[in-house]
Amino acid sequence: MVAPRLILVLGDQLSDGLSALKAADKTRDIVVMAEVAGETGYVPHHPKKIALVLSAMRHFALNLREHGWTVAYTRLDDDGNSGSIAGELLRRASEHGTSEVIATQPGEWRLIEALEDMPLKVRQLPDDRFIASLDTFNDWAKGRRELRMEYFYREMRRKTGLMMDGNDPAGGKWNFDHDNRKPARPDMLRSAPMQFTPNEITEEVLTLVEDLFGDNFGTLRPFHFAVTRGQALRALDHFVRYLLEGFGDYQDAMLQGEAFLNHSLLSPYINLGLLDPLEVCQRVETAWKDGHVPINAAEGFIRQIIGWREYMRGIYFREGPGYTRRNALGHRRALPDMYWGAETRMTCMAEAIAQTDTEGYAHHIQRLMVTGNFALLAGIAPAEVHEWYLSVYVDAYEWVEAPNVIGMSQWADGGIIGSKPYVSSGNYINRMSDYCASCAYSVKARTGAESCPFNSLYWHFLDRHRKRFEGNPRMAMIYRSWDRMDEGKRDAVLKTAKAHLHRLDEDGVL
């Protein structure tokens, strides 16, 4: 008899069409899936994230078995669980008398290297659940002085044909962002993302996670995520029907007590492999073609997926394993306790972090312009910021989290992703949200203990990194305004920033 091969399916590879499954022979091979401490513990993941991954894995394994696959599944609390993916492969290899493994390339260098180092014959196939292969991305990037997402996105529109009129973009423009970015109105009625009641399998996982990870940051219950492809498809349908219409208009808005607004909450499902990015975009395109949603909503949404998501992955793999250690601005401050829930008087930070705790979710602008902006202005070590984001969001996997944090948010890669840092004073947050009206700090003030910390920290950041940024044409105007301020005022702003930072270091909160 020919020895079976082991077919590795990781927790975020839950796709029927996974390249490792496509290369396998159902009648001969054994699918290996393993809940292991190495994966549940490489960062202190939010309990909702662990529960989502484990429950989705168990459902996926069940489905594979129903379709005739032999699955060797290890539960986290099984006796003999070796604690790592490599250990489980070795255990199964010895059990089944084989030394051959077929895997789909993991989304993290750490695991790619672990598979390469194994004393088994491991074949890592490309992960083709993306629109651009890594070769396609590298070909696009080769020889370019700047890797701007917008140009990559246009290539992806051409490649997929999404919202194209022949060779031209539908509606005559590639990008409708000037119609977007409206602030939210508190009286807007909108539906919430779809919620699912946990079944027996999920309940069992929730109890396990409660026991083992109850001390991690984040609230486990209530748990309403989709854990199967069928449920994820229903969540997609719900988003397209009820929320997509306002997606473009309100994608940058922030509102107290409203975690989701018009956002899709689909990233957890796409990243797990339950939804295919192209099918999601095609569904959105159809809604636009059928006249159910405006062009700015459909184009804005599709750009996030075939543009930003694909681009981020390309950068992560192009830049190599050292990317998460980059620190172009030399930031060294420890991550303050505020990020782990210590009570803060800053309403914007309190809102973003509280919903991160309860939901394992914050939308893009909260991640970028509230928690990310604050960390950058305050000079927090990017590696600590990276670890926080990787831990606390249910959709966080290194291939997508690291370029968003190290590159886009913290400018720690020295400008590969962003030509200038995403920094702003409190003004931006005030414009896009209703946070400032109920904040203990004054968004109108730049100096004094009660002034909005973003205001003085913004200038402190620009002043301390002047050498780096003053030659950047996109930042020249800002430096001119700083220089036009009278010297006494500038000193007072910098003194206020230092006082805020001192308090942050002393108390861990502002």
Q: Which residues bind ligand FAD (CB under 6 A)?
A: 251, 263-267, 270-271, 301, 304-305, 308-309, 312, 363-364, 367-368, 372, 389, 393, 395-396, 400-401, 404-405, 408-409
Element at 33 (helix H, strand E): strand 30-34
Lookup: tokens for 142: 């080769």
φ, ψ at 34 (rounded to 5°): -145, 125
Residue 504 binding partner per list ligand DLZ, ligand SF4, ligand FAD, none, with a CB distance cut-off of 5 to 8 Å that depends on partner kind:
none
The residue ranges that bind ligand DLZ (CB under 6 A) are 10-12, 34-36, 39-40, 45, 50, 53, 106-108, 111, 397
* Rounded Cα distance, 53 and 395, in Å: 10
Nearer to ligand DLZ, 6 or 36 (CB): 36
From ligand SF4, ligand DLZ, ligand FAD, none, interface partner of 465 (C-beta below 5 to 8 A by class):
none
- For residues 283 and 236, the answer to whether their CB atoms sit within 8 Å is yes
- Three-class SS string for 60-108? HHHHHHHCCCEEEEECCCCCCCCCCHHHHHHHHHHHHCCCEEEEECCCC
- Which of ligand FAD, ligand DLZ, ligand SF4, none binds 24 (CB below 5-8 Å, type-dependent)? none
Choose the binding region for ligand SF4 from 358-366, 424-432, 461-469, 471-479 (rule: CB under 6 A): 424-432
Work out whether 432 is an interface residue with ligand SF4 (CB under 6 A). no
Question: Least distance to ligand SF4 from the beta carbon of 443, Å?
Answer: 4
Q: Output the smallest distance, CB 233 to ligand FAD, in A.
A: 15
- Residue placing its CB nearer to ligand SF4 in the complex, 46 or 446: 446
Asked if 441 is part of the footprint of ligand SF4 (rule: CB under 6 A), the reply reads yes
CB of 347 to ligand FAD, least distance (A): 20
Give the separation between CA 456 and CA 468, rounded to whole angstroms.
Answer: 19
Given the complex with ligand DLZ, which of 177 and 276 has the nearer CB atom? 276
Say whether 31 sits in a helix, a strand or coil. Answer: strand
CA distance 352 to 206: 24
**234 interface partner picked from ligand DLZ, ligand FAD, ligand SF4, none, CB below 5 to 8 A per type:** none
Residue 39 beta carbon to ligand DLZ: minimum distance, rounded to whole angstroms? 3
3-class DSSP state of 121: strand
Amino acid at 64: L
Tell me the window of 23-31, 54-62, 170-178, 449-457 that interacts with ligand SF4 (CB under 6 A).
Answer: 449-457
The tokens for 488 are: 């006494």
Tokens in use for 110? 């750490």
Contact 438, 413 (CB under 8 A): no
Tell me: does residue 435 bind ligand SF4 (CB under 6 A): yes
For residues 54 and 14, give the distance between their C-alpha atoms in angstroms, rounded to a whole number.
11
